[in-house]
Amino acid sequence: LLYERHGEPAAVVELKDLEVPKLGDSDVHVKMLAAPVNPADINMIQGTYPLLSPLPAVGGNEGVGEVLEVGSRVTALKPGDWVIPADAGLGTWRTRGVFPEELLLKVPSDIPVLCAATLSVNPCTAFRVLADFESLAPGDSVIQNAANSGVGQAVIQIARASGIKTINVVRDRPDLPKLVERLMALGADHVVTEEMLRKPEMKDIFKSTPRPRLALNCVGGKSTTEMLRHLQPKGTMVTYGGMAKQPVMVPVSAFIFRDVRLRGFWMTQWRKDHAQDQGSVAGMMDALCQLIRRGQLTAPACTEVPLQDYRAALEASMKPFVSSKQILLL
């Protein structure tokens, strides 16, 4: 799926037949199996993301493929192995590709294909924001907005596996009870709407759950300000997205009297910073695959879409209140 200019995805993305390039000594020929449509993919096509691929570009930053053939100098991969992108910008919305070996990470082929296809962005983000900002212990709690997003669903499950409680904020919607039920089934301790953050009932939650030391924000605007009120003194709020396209507003009192910390996180930057530190990348992937094998981490709610119906997938991924991730089957 190629785009030659930036703009609205349904208008600029086209399905094109291209020749598969010749295999170099350090290259790997990959048959792509499945690739999701993430918000960052849409923003890259629109031209609004901080990281843009040179045009013409193939869409998609995430997905899983099977190795068909390897160049003579490739040592870490062999035909039949499953691989995912080691970094953003690979262009995963394609049936075949030839990539340099260092752009790929091997993943176990005994995990479900949808888990592997959605592994490198959301679960990694969830893993890092839980691990890198506050040292949380079993019994501690975390509060997060957009709890039904891909990252939100992974945070609930990874936290649950570590004995950390989650307070999950979602927007009010027509099918709210169904969503609450789904998040509770994943292991959420509490699910509240943005409106409830202001209500006295929040006090009831804190009878059984300690106030959070960590808040995770991917919305911005009012939702964030309200969430911040429940953070413990000296707690940290990490912003990794801005779906409301509104700034983060913080009352001065939160800084002065509660000394809260505001931090930011971008998975792409983390990968750049750790490019030479293969141990920490391998450790994270290993931990996530173990959780998947044990049934403690599942793929987010997915809608599988054949490649030729890509327009429907692009449009669906941009609709509000869609809790299902669109996955292109390649």
Catalytic residues: 49
State how far the Cα of 289 lies from the Cα of 115, in Å rounded to an integer: 9
Distances from the Cα of 63 to the Cα of 116, 270, 278, 282, angstroms: 7, 19, 20, 18
* H and E: helices and strands count for the chain: 12, 16
Contact (Cβ atoms closer than 8 angstroms) between residue 202 and residue 128:
no
State how far the Cα of 125 lies from the Cα of 131, in Å rounded to an integer: 10
Amino acid at 18: L
Contact (Cβ atoms closer than 8 angstroms) between residue 127 and residue 100:
no
Q: At what angle do helices 39-46 and 310-317 cross, to 10 degrees?
A: 100
User: What is the CB neighbour count within 10 angstroms for residue 39?
Assistant: 16
Find the helix or strand (DSSP H, E) in which 36 lies.
strand 27-36
Q: How far is Cα of residue 145 from the mean position of the Cα atoms in its chain?
A: 14
User: Per the omega criterion (within 30 degrees of 0), is the bond before 174 cis?
Assistant: no
User: Of 248, 122, 152, 144, nearest to 192 (Cα)?
Assistant: 144
State how far the Cα of 299 lies from the Cα of 309, in Å rounded to an integer: 21
Contact (Cβ atoms closer than 8 angstroms) between residue 65 and residue 105:
no
What would the 3-class secondary structure string for 212-281 be?
CCEEEECCCCHHHHHHHCCCCCCCEEEECCCCCCCCCCCCHHHHHCCCCEEEECCHHHHHHHCCCCHHHH
